[in-house]
Amino acid sequence: MSKMRLAIVGAGPAGIYAADLMLKAERDFEVEIDLFEQLPAPYGLVRYGVSPDHPRIKGIITALREVLDSGAIRYFGNVRYGQDITLADLKRHYHAVIFATGAIRDVSLNIPGIDAEGSYGAADFVSWFDGHPDVPRTWPLEAREVGVIGNGNVALDISRMLIKHADDLLPTEIPDNVYAGLKQNPIEELHLFGRRGPKYVKFTPLELRELGEVRDVDMVVDERDFDRDDAYADETLAKNKQVVVMTRIMDKWRAEQQQREAGEVEPSSRRLHLHFWSKPVEVVVEDGRVAGLKIERTAPDGQGGVVDTGEFEIVPMQSLYRAVGYYGSPLDEIPFDDAKGVIPNAQGRVRDLEGEQIPGVYATGWIKRGPVGLIGHTKSDAMETLECLLEDRASWWQPEAPEAGAIPELLHAREVPYTTIEGWHRLDEHELGLGEQAGRTRIKVVSREEMTRVSRGE
């Protein structure tokens, strides 16, 4: 074999890094890579997850774009594995496939009332404010008091987006419908709940500090939460540099709160309340709608976990978001681990449910390892998967039709309106143009039809 044909499904960072590493790998054969993406636009959660007010992180797109522009990868956007292209197609035309399909859904939270009207998953809200084409264009922002469950960075992102004044988001790339929705947001109080203590948060310091810098928002802390006798945290976590920084940030908020209570500073018009040691136990529902969250106060168990205290409180609110983790989606004809929401694998080699390796099939990124970790982690992840793939050369598929022209022909025959990398450039320039007209950097196009039309130059 002198030429290997590799299919990658998913053009998020994991898929793009895998392509890049394959091109750079030491090998004695040529390689042709086709990248299939269900959306007309590439970059996965960098475009549809990272907050619009984080332009520096969105800037990673520049490096990802360079890979796509290298000329060595064919991009087929608007092509969904399982619908437009199947495993049988991939086996017919490629030597192997890497699935890099990420995660876009919310994990569920099993407490009574969670399905009431006004109760939402963070992932759905993120998809809305980041202009994902497959979610509704409007979002019901009607609540004066809002709850957010979770102490990870997604909880911070959605809290910031909910509590910020819409005009402060205008310099970002938010779509027009999102600005219009946020402009109507009547929020005054946001309650953020963590089931463990302030030293156990999964936030990162930069993101936590940023929350306190939001204009016209006071950070409200509960002094009882800092009072827990917690030897584990004091001995183990207190040495962690990130914990030290975050403790300092929260100490500053505690001091500011005292100043406000003493009438030394003017209060802001919106407040963000931090509730630690607060385990959600039930959504209080009235007339089918969220009316509050019942929490049980917890206490440290001495080993990093918590015990229940039997003390309950109800915090009133009219809408509630759960930011307790993402969850992957199963793919046609590929095994799926329901408990973890991932494709079962060992170092990226996909295994069936009996633990046997499936030849030619690999996974990388969040669908391989679960929905934790930063964009940079998907690079080391892709490296591990690629090493396995290269080692397995003897067990790759033997494609019947390895000609490059077969794929566009197949997509034409199936009438799939696929987009190309040149099409993405057209859409990218179109969005930048829309931004320029409005005195903004970019305005995202949200409708899939319009994205496809602009990309295909129709």
Ligand X SMILES: Cc1cc2nc3c(=O)[nH]c(=O)nc-3n(C[C@H](O)[C@H](O)[C@H](O)COP(=O)(O)OP(=O)(O)OC[C@H]3O[C@@H](n4cnc5c(N)ncnc54)[C@H](O)[C@@H]3O)c2cc1C
Ligand Y SMILES: NC(=O)c1ccc[n+]([C@@H]2O[C@H](COP(=O)([O-])OP(=O)(O)OC[C@H]3O[C@@H](n4cnc5c(N)ncnc54)[C@H](OP(=O)(O)O)[C@@H]3O)[C@@H](O)[C@H]2O)c1
Residues near ligand Y (CB under 6 A): 109, 149-155, 157, 194-196, 202, 204, 207, 280, 323-326, 371-374
Q: What is the closest distance, in whole angstroms, from the C-beta atom of residue 247 to ligand Y in the complex?
A: 16
E strand intervals along 209-322: 217-221, 270-275, 278-286, 289-300, 306-316, 319-322
Q: What is the closest distance, in whole angstroms, from the C-beta atom of residue 30 to ligand Y in the complex?
A: 36
Among ligand Y, ligand X, none, partner that 150 touches (CB below 5 to 8 angstroms by kind): ligand Y
- For ligand Y, the closer of residues 242 and 268 by Cβ is 242
Within 10 A of 194 (CB to CB), how many other CB atoms are there? 23
Q: Does 155 bind ligand X (CB under 6 A)?
A: no
Q: What is the closest distance, in whole angstroms, from the C-beta atom of residue 260 to ligand Y in the complex?
A: 27
Contact 203, 209 (CB under 8 A): no
Alpha-carbon separation of residue 102 from 163, 327, 333, 363 (angstroms): 28, 9, 17, 10
Among ligand Y, ligand X, none, partner that 325 touches (CB below 5 to 8 angstroms by kind): ligand Y
Among 4, 8, 21, 44, which residue sits at the site for ligand X (rule: CB under 6 A)?
44
Query: Which residues inside 305-324 make contact with ligand X, applying CB under 6 A?
Result: none
Round the CA-based radius of gyration of the chain to a whole number and report it. Answer: 24
Q: Does 139 bind ligand X (CB under 6 A)?
A: no
Alpha-carbon separation of residue 308 from 73, 189, 296, 324 (angstroms): 54, 26, 7, 19
Q: What is the closest distance, in whole angstroms, from the C-beta atom of residue 80 to ligand X in the complex?
A: 4
Among 82, 359, 408, 435, which residue sits at the site for ligand X (rule: CB under 6 A)?
82
What does DSSP assign to residue 214? S
Among ligand X, ligand Y, none, partner that 152 touches (CB below 5 to 8 angstroms by kind): ligand Y
Alpha-carbon distance of 381 to 42, in angstroms, equals 19
Strand partners, 298: 308
Q: How many residues bind ligand X (CB under 6 A)?
A: 36
Query: Which residues inside 237-296 make contact with ligand X, applying CB under 6 A?
Result: none
Q: Does 344 bind ligand X (CB under 6 A)?
A: no
Q: What is the closest distance, in whole angstroms, from the C-beta atom of residue 51 to ligand Y in the complex?
A: 7
- For ligand Y, the closer of residues 91 and 191 by Cβ is 191
- Tokens 């993405």, located at residue: 424
Contact 304, 231 (CB under 8 A): no
Alpha-carbon distance of 76 to 36, in angstroms, equals 5
Q: What is the closest distance, in whole angstroms, from the C-beta atom of residue 341 to ligand Y in the complex?
A: 12
Q: What is the closest distance, in whole angstroms, from the C-beta atom of residue 116 to ligand Y in the complex?
A: 17
Q: Give me the residue whose beta carbon is nearest to ligand Y.
A: 152
- Only one of the segments 107-115, 351-359, 368-376, 395-403 lies at the binding site for ligand X (rule: CB under 6 A); that segment is 368-376
Among ligand X, ligand Y, none, partner that 375 touches (CB below 5 to 8 angstroms by kind): ligand X
Q: Does 36 bind ligand X (CB under 6 A)?
A: yes
If you write DSSP's letter for every residue of 351-386 in order, what string do you get? Answer: E-TTS-EEEEEEE-THHHH-S-S-TTHHHHHHHHHH
Q: Does 81 bind ligand X (CB under 6 A)?
A: yes
- For ligand X, the closer of residues 13 and 121 by Cβ is 13
- Tokens 């390796």, located at residue: 357
Long-range contacts of the stretch 56-63 (C-beta < 8 A, 24+): 57/375, 58/173, 60/13, 60/375
- For ligand X, the closer of residues 200 and 327 by Cβ is 327
End-to-end CA distance of the chain: 40
Q: What is the closest distance, in whole angstroms, from the C-beta atom of residue 345 to ligand Y in the complex?
A: 19
Q: Does 57 bind ligand X (CB under 6 A)?
A: yes
If you write DSSP's letter for every residue of 116-151 in order, what string do you get? Answer: SBTEEEHHHHHHHHTT-TTS-S------SEEEEE--
Q: Does 49 bind ligand X (CB under 6 A)?
A: yes
Question: Which helix (H) or strand (E) segment is 246 a member of?
Answer: helix 241-261
Binding site for ligand X (CB under 6 A): 9-15, 36-39, 44-46, 49-50, 54, 57, 80-82, 100-103, 126, 154, 157, 326, 331, 365-366, 373-375, 378
